[in-house]
Amino acid sequence: MCGIVGYIGSSEEKSVSEILVTGLKKLEYRGYDSSGIAVLEDSKVKRVRAAGKLNHLEKKLEDQKFKSEIGIAHTRWATHGLPTENNAHPHSCGSTVIVHNGIIENFRSLLSQRPELHSKLKTETDSELIAVLLDSVLSADNNHKDEEEHFLQSCLKVQQALEGAFAVLALNEKTPDTLIGWKFGPPLIVGKSKNGSFAVASDVCALPEDTEQLLYLNDHDLFQIKKNEFSLFAKGKKAETIQWEKANFQQMEMDKKGYSHYMLKEVHEQPRAVREALMPFFDFSKREFNSTNDELSKFKELISSVSDVLFVACGTSFYAGLIGQSYFE
């Protein structure tokens, strides 16, 4: 599970690359093996990528100050190809650059239908094919009148062609004020701030703190952000109304809260997490199970009618399963 972040707008305090890297840091808890960012500066893609921890990327970014108001970023958990700098996202082809979270399951069949695209691939990843397909759709029609519309229609076309799990963000040098993204499976959340900037991320905690409104994308959604203008396409059809939610950053407790790493924080959070999980089923003042809880009574009924319970798990959950086994017995 990797993370993606995108940003379009301007902030008085931070550059786009700082906003992107701050977002990536908040997504570190999801695990990753490499990272990268791409911004558009004077309508040109500028990419910086690094294998390993985010501080490797930060080190590379130290000597590069971009003048940009739009960018995308990624922490990768390799599924196709080694965790090298070359395989790290963002991936670019022609005028486009993308980040992808997930797996393109029909990657091989798409390539066998379009063998001429093979030579355009420079990495071992499935994701790069998204950039290559996008570039091929964009360059197939040179007679279009409107670059924005052409980029949008090309993304909608590529979205249709993909099977598997994906959250994608895409930029195009010919439409330097536009950010497009779509998802099927992995989460993608759009945040809007008072000053008209938009940010997109795999988790709310990675959005900038001045985010005022949120939109959780559904599967098959595709969005287009043009400067201050946001459009949503659900299953290819433009949405008439968009249900923004108020952002509540007090509820976001995903940062390390003073612990030196996430695992330590999780260990210390266990008593509270168990208590919260039990809350609907257990009356803590009486120290007894809540007899009026429907789900609990259904579960009691179900569990008394079965003869065997099988725990299937691996790693840490295997040990949790062993504890579960003794409780159930």
Q: Which is nearer to ligand GLU, 186 or 208 (CB)?
A: 186
Burial label, 87 (beta-carbon count in 10 A; 0-12, 13-18, 19+): buried
Residues that bind ligand GLU (CB under 6 A): 2, 76-81, 100-103, 125-127
Residues 91 and 128: beta-carbon distance below 8 Å: yes
**Cα–Cα distance measured from residue 222 to residue 179, given in angstroms and rounded to the nearest whole number:** 11
* Dist CA 199 CA 211 (whole Å): 8
Q: How far is the CB of 95 from ligand GLU (least distance, A)?
A: 21
- Minimal distance in Å, beta carbon 165 to ligand GLU? 8
- Closer CB to ligand GLU, 79 or 218, in the complex: 79
CB 188 to ligand GLU: min, Å: 12
Query: CB of residue 212 vs ligand GLU: minimum separation in angstroms?
Result: 29
DSSP 76: E
Where helices occur in 63-106 by DSSP H, the ranges are none
Residue closest to ligand GLU (Cβ): 2
Distance of CA 65 to the CA centre of its chain: 25
- Which residue lies nearer to ligand GLU by CB, 2 or 204? 2
Shortest Å, Cβ 37 to ligand GLU: 14
Query: Which residue number, 49 or 192, has a Cβ lying nearer to ligand GLU?
Result: 49
Question: In the structure encoding, which two tokens stand for residue 73, read together?
Answer: 């970023």
Decide whether 87 or 197 has the Cβ nearer to ligand GLU: 87
Nearer to ligand GLU, 103 or 214 (CB): 103
The DSSP code for 123 is: S
Work out how close the CB of 301 gets to ligand GLU at its nearest, in angstroms, rounded to a whole number: 40
Are 198 and 9 in contact by the 8 Å Cβ rule? The answer is yes
322 CB neighbour count, 10 Å cutoff: 11
- List residues bridging with 178 in a β-sheet: 226
**Shortest gap between Cβ of 226 and ligand GLU (angstroms)?**
27
Pick 33 or 177: Cβ nearer ligand GLU: 33
In whole angstroms, give the CA distance from residue 131 to residue 123.
Answer: 12
Q: Please give the Cα distance from 179 to 201 (Å, whole number).
A: 13
